[in-house]
Amino acid sequence: MLLNTYEPWKFAFSTETDFKNIKKDSFGIIGVPFDSTTSYHSGARLGPIVVREASFGFEKYNTIFDTDLNVVFYDFGDVNVIPGNCEATCNIVEDTIRELVDLNIKPIVIGGEHSASIGVVKVLSEIYDKLTVVHLDAHRDLAFDFVGEKYSHATVMRRIHEFGVDLVQIGIRSSSKDEEEFVKSTYNIKTFKNKDAHRHMDAIEYYLTNIDTPIYLSIDMDVVDPAIAPDVGNPTPGGLFTSEIEDLIRSLACKNVVGMDVVETASDRLGDTTAVNAAKIIYDFLSLID
Ligand SMILES: [Mn+2]
């Protein structure tokens, strides 16, 4: 397993890692401190550190959902990325996820730029006959290439769609004409734009509740409104609010979620509000599963 040897912060409430006695079907966190294809605000390589640090602000009792965070989960540390080489880093993430899956661990990836999702979904799409990727993002990330690069934070969902998964995109409020045409030309991409989330959350929750395949959840922190989560790679006004994210996580936590990522937190400040919101999403999810 390609993990750094230094001991980073572990996510709050995580269980001490003993590879001889790993609890099967548990979730395991890995960080991907990588941001080499970032096009606007850089700094996502520090996301795994600041999100883990922010996790220590929460109580074991989750007041919002009236649950305790008692589930066994692990924090395996960060993968060794290759700065400047996105495709090679994607391959390292893929190898690491394969090893986690061999241990019957379901991955929770903290980014890092969004390209971290590619290797994760590649492995999971090979394991599960049918897989639905629920993608919370201000952007579609469906460009075939971005400034000539096939492996980029802006092409993530296009690469993932090529693995044959169904895609549900929620919170979308920025895209290109080409991306919209691509969506129209496919049969398996469902879109809920940001206004759907503001006005018709019930319809989104109903749709998610009826997904009958395993689910991979990919959350770009720019789906959240930049008023409360400003430190992301591409801040985009008009995003979702905390209570809307809570509604979505509650709907998904009772489904068969086989992995998730929370990416694009770009900050080097401890206590950063974007990092706190990213940590809360992971904390809420873990509070809601058995
Ligand atoms: Mn985005």
Q: What is the DSSP letter of 21?
A: G
Whole-number pLDDT of residue 3: 66
Secondary structure of the chain: what % helix, strand, coil (to 5)?
35, 20, 40
* Confidence (pLDDT) at 4: 62
Task: Give the CATH number of domain 26-288.
Answer: 3.40.800.10
Ligand 1 centroid to Cα of residue 174, in Å, is 9
Q: Is the whole model's pTM more than 0.85, yes or no?
A: yes
pLDDT at 6 over 60: no
Measured CA to CA, the distance from residue 99 to residue 77 in angstroms comes to 14
Instruction: Give the per-residue SS3 of 166-235.
Output: EEEEEEECECCHHHHHHHHHCCCEEEEEHHHHHHCHHHHHHHHHCCCCCEEEEEEHHHECCCCCCCECCC
Ion ligand 1: residues, Cβ under 5 Å: 137-139, 220, 222
Q: Rounded to the nearest whole angstrom, what is the distance from the C-alpha of residue 88 to the centroid of ligand 1?
A: 22
- Tell me: pLDDT of 20 over 90: no
Say which amino acid occupies 219.
Answer: I
How much distance in Å is there from the Cα of 269 to the middle of ligand 1? 21
- Ligand 1 centroid to Cα of residue 250, in Å, is 22
pLDDT in tens, 56-87: 999 999 999 999 999 999 999 999 999 999 99
In the chain, domain spans: 26-288
High-pLDDT (> 70) share of the chain, %: 97
What is the pLDDT averaged over residues 154-169? 96
